[in-house]
Amino acid sequence: MKVQHPLFSQVALAQNLPEHGLKRGDIATIVEHYPMPGGEEDGYSLEGFDLPQVTLEVAASQIIPISQWQQEEMIVRKLRQLSKSRRLQLEDYLDFLLQKEQSENVSV
């Protein structure tokens, strides 16, 4: 199922866009939605990257809700506070959870 972001909502970039001088986490407002047929990725027009009168077209996978961006940033801040040995333990646990997730998705 496709996630549709509402018009005029603010979103954060999910990746760097160096060709436009923009970085992951930069925030903009959705001003247009371009639904695509047949499972193709929807597109969006964004404005407000501190670039006056510039509208940027992006694919749906290139943006995330601000709340998701904030949650990811909080997790990264906490991760940076861990010792190296704890980060390795966490990485092992995350691998375990991902394998479990994949096996559950296959059995559904």
Query: What pLDDT does residue 2 have?
Result: 64
Q: Are 90 and 79 in contact (CB under 8 A)?
A: yes
Mean pLDDT confidence for 5-29: 93
Domains of the chain, by residue range, sit at: 10-67
Q: pLDDT per residue over 37-51, tens digit each? A: 888 999 999 999 877
Is the dihedral angle over the CA atoms 53, 45, 56, 74 positive or is it negative?
Answer: positive
The answer, yes or no, to whether residue 1 has pLDDT greater than 70, is no
pLDDT above 70 as % of the chain: 96
**Under CATH, which number does the domain 10-67 receive?**
2.30.30
The model's pTM = 0.76
Query: Could you tell me the pLDDT band of residue 29, with boundaries at 50, 70 and 90?
Result: very high
**Alpha carbon 26 to chain centroid distance?**
11
Q: CB neighbours of 82 closer than 8 A, spacing ≥ 6?
A: 90
pLDDT, greater one: 78 or 1: 78
Mean pLDDT confidence for 79-92: 96
pLDDT, greater one: 3 or 9: 9
Question: Which strand ranges, in their side-by-side order, compose the sheet holding 55-59?
Answer: 55-59, 43-47, 27-34, 10-13, 63-65
